[in-house]
């Protein structure tokens, strides 16, 4: 990574934490460059304007998130052939990952952007939408594979069950933040796992 890329990443790191803690509108370029020890002109060399910072921030977050999900659920599939058990293992790995964050989850960019939507141009909003649709697709594929083997014990829409992964994570993050109890997030993921277990297991216990 060249010197320019390094600076850019540093700017994004600083911006990311600030955006998750104060929102995009309250995150000033002034404060980012102060922490990054760079001048304002230096900042604008890397990003044309604040909206380009927003786009880059979201894109980087989504790439990382996709990478993490690939890693965890691929690993889960390695550990178990059965689609249901692989999914349950993947959820456990995810819960553990979330529990291992030292200061709790810093926040979900997608959620932060939802509560700042009016600030962004359509391209950023569409990026956000596409990301959530991607997660839906990812988990719907797993769930269909599961449902083909284990008929669900309740009449549910698999697409919504797929959405529930994102919902549990985003909801869990909010509760963790509001309560100041980082553990809440992983507990919510494990409850989703419990639902999947009950929904698809032929016998329970």
Partner DNA sequence: AACCAACCTGACCTCGAGTACAGTAAATTC
Partner DNA sequence: GAATTTACTGTACTCGAGGTCAGGTTGGTT
Q: Does 27 bind DNA (CB under 7 A)?
A: yes
Nearer to its own copies, 89 or 184 (CB): 184
Nearer to DNA, 5 or 126 (CB): 5
**Alpha-helical regions (H) of 47-157:** 50-79, 83-99, 109-114, 122-149
Q: What is the CA radius of gyration of the chain?
A: 19
Q: Return the range that interacts with DNA (CB under 7 A); candidates 33-41, 62-70, 105-113, 129-137.
A: 33-41
Q: Return the range that interacts with its own copies (CB under 8 A); candidates 45-53, 71-79, 81-89, 110-118.
A: 110-118
Integer CA distances (angstroms), 22 to 16, 18, 19, 163, in order: 10, 6, 5, 26
Per-residue b or e along 65-103, where b marks 16 or more CB atoms closer than 10 Å to that residue's CB: beeebeebbeebbeeeeebbebbbbbbbbbbeebbeeee
Residue 170 interaction partner, one of DNA, its own copies, none, beta carbon < 5-8 Å per kind: its own copies
Residue 116 interaction partner, one of DNA, its own copies, none, beta carbon < 5-8 Å per kind: its own copies
Distance of CA 50 to the CA centre of its chain: 22
Report yes or no: 173 and 105 within 8 Å, Cβ to Cβ: yes
Q: How far is the CB of 183 from its own copies (least distance, A)?
A: 9
* Coil vs helix vs strand at 107: coil
* Coil vs helix vs strand at 186: helix
Q: Does 35 bind DNA (CB under 7 A)?
A: no
Nearer to DNA, 46 or 105 (CB): 46
Distance of CA 9 to the CA centre of its chain: 19
Q: Does 129 bind its own copies (CB under 8 A)?
A: yes
- Interior angle at CA 148, CA 142 and CA 152, nearest 5: 90
Q: Return the range that interacts with DNA (CB under 7 A); candidates 1-9, 70-78, 106-114, 157-165.
A: 1-9
Which position among 15, 84, 86, 184 is part of the footprint of its own copies (CB under 8 A)?
Answer: 184
Q: Which residues bind its own copies (CB under 8 A)?
A: 18, 20-27, 107-108, 110-119, 128-129, 131-133, 153-154, 156-157, 160-161, 163-164, 166-175, 177-180, 184, 187-188, 190-191, 194-195, 197-199, 204-205
């Amino acid at each position: 990574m060249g010197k320019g890329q390094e600076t850019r990443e540093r700017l994004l790191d600083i911006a990311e934490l600030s955006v998750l803690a104060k929102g995009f509108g309250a995150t000033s370029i002034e404060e980012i460059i102060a922490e990054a020890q760079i001048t304002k002109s230096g900042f604008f060399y890397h990003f044309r304007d604040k909206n380009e910072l927003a786009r880059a921030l979201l894109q980087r977050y989504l790439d990382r998130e996709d990478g993490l999900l690939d890693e965890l659920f691929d690993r889960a599939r390695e550990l178990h052939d059965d689609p249901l058990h692989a999914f349950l293992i993947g959820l456990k790995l995810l819960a553990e990952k979330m529990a291992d964050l030292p200061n709790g989850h810093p926040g979900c960019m997608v959620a932060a952007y939802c509560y700042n939507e009016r600030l962004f141009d359509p391209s950023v909003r569409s990026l956000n939408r596409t990301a959530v649709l991607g997660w839906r697709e990812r988990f719907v594929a797993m769930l269909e594979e599961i449902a083909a083997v284990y008929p669900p014990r309740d009449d549910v829409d698999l697409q919504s069950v797929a959405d529930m992964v994102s919902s549990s994570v985003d909801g869990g993050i909010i509760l963790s933040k509001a309560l100041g109890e980082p553990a809440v997030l992983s507990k919510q993921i494990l409850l989703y796992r419990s639902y999947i277990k009950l929904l698809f297991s032929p016998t329970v216990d």
